[in-house]
Homo-oligomer: A and B are copies of this chain.
Amino acid sequence: MFVTNVFVQPWAVPSISRRERPAKPALSRDGIVAAAVEILRAEGIERVTMRRLAQALDSGAASLYVYVRDTADLHAAVLDELLGTIELTDDLHGLVRAYVDVLYAYPGLARTALVTRPSGPHYLALIERVLAVLAAAGLPGDRAAWLLDLLLLVATASAAEHSTRRGSATAQLEDDALAEALAQATPESFPNIAALGVDHLLAGPGSLRLQWFLDVLVNGGLSTPRPPPTGS
């Protein structure tokens, strides 16, 4: 209602002489995010936890909550920071690939990207550029918005799928299990699976496949009108 503390509070007075050691730098959102990126690079997203981060900052986990809403907020900020490194070209495939490359580079980050809506400046810059390219290609605005969503969805999901499996021992076991299950398909039990064979079904080179995925989205997006507003 009205200001009560006209007196200067003790904690507001910086103590005259206090410069002993390298000095623990004051906490700030930027500092926290920077430290988080460092941990991400060195140890992966799994280790970017409130507790681990506080430890790196020589602080307590509870202190971080002044600057960060929760873990999801933290991860979103980290992702946006990384998106700042991608080069904004005028080539749609190049843009999406650059985005995917960032996510591939940091296993586990893609998983959080699927779930946590980013809203940082670098993310905005990326979607602005994608929209510009789609507009230049003559795509109407409403469909451009949807195609943008679809492109980022596929890019993020591909990265999530891929990056989680890399280096994971149990992921290998899962693949083996699926390969064996597929191999046991007979022309009687699962004719179409048997006809294709394991080799075709277990995705080939990831890069070519992603290339084709993106081609499909662009070709399909350009040729597919919005469905009528009311369904049957």
B residues near A215, Cβ cutoff 8 Å: 220, 224, 227
User: How far, in Å, is A28 (CB) from chain B's closest CB?
Assistant: 19
Does the CB pair A190–B124 fall under 8 Å? yes
Any B CB within 8 A of the CB of A23: no
In the assembled complex, the Cα of A165 lies from the Cα of B51 at a distance in Å of 25
Does the CB pair B192–A128 fall under 8 Å? yes
The number of chain A residues touching the other chain, given as a range, is 35 or more
- Copies of this chain, how many? 2
**Partner of A223 from B177, B211, B223, B227 at Cβ < 8 Å:** B223
B residues near A135, Cβ cutoff 8 Å: 192
Does the CB pair B200–A227 fall under 8 Å? no
B residues near A70, Cβ cutoff 8 Å: 170
Question: Contacting chain B: which of A3-11, A33-41, A59-67, A146-154?
Answer: A146-154
Question: Contacting chain B: which of A13-21, A42-50, A83-91, A109-117?
Answer: A109-117
Residue pairs across A and B with Cβ atoms less than 8 A apart, 5 shown, are: A73-B170, A119-B177, A145-B203, A146-B213, A150-B213
In the assembled complex, the Cα of A154 lies from the Cα of B146 at a distance in Å of 13
B residues near A223, Cβ cutoff 8 Å: 219-220, 223
**Partner of A149 from B141, B192, B209 at Cβ < 8 Å:** B209
B residues near A1, Cβ cutoff 8 Å: none
Does the CB pair B119–A201 fall under 8 Å? no
- Beta-carbon contacts of A160-204 to B below 8 Å, as 1s and 0s? 110010000011011101101110010000111101100011010
Any B CB within 8 A of the CB of A12: no
In the assembled complex, the Cα of A216 lies from the Cα of B115 at a distance in Å of 23
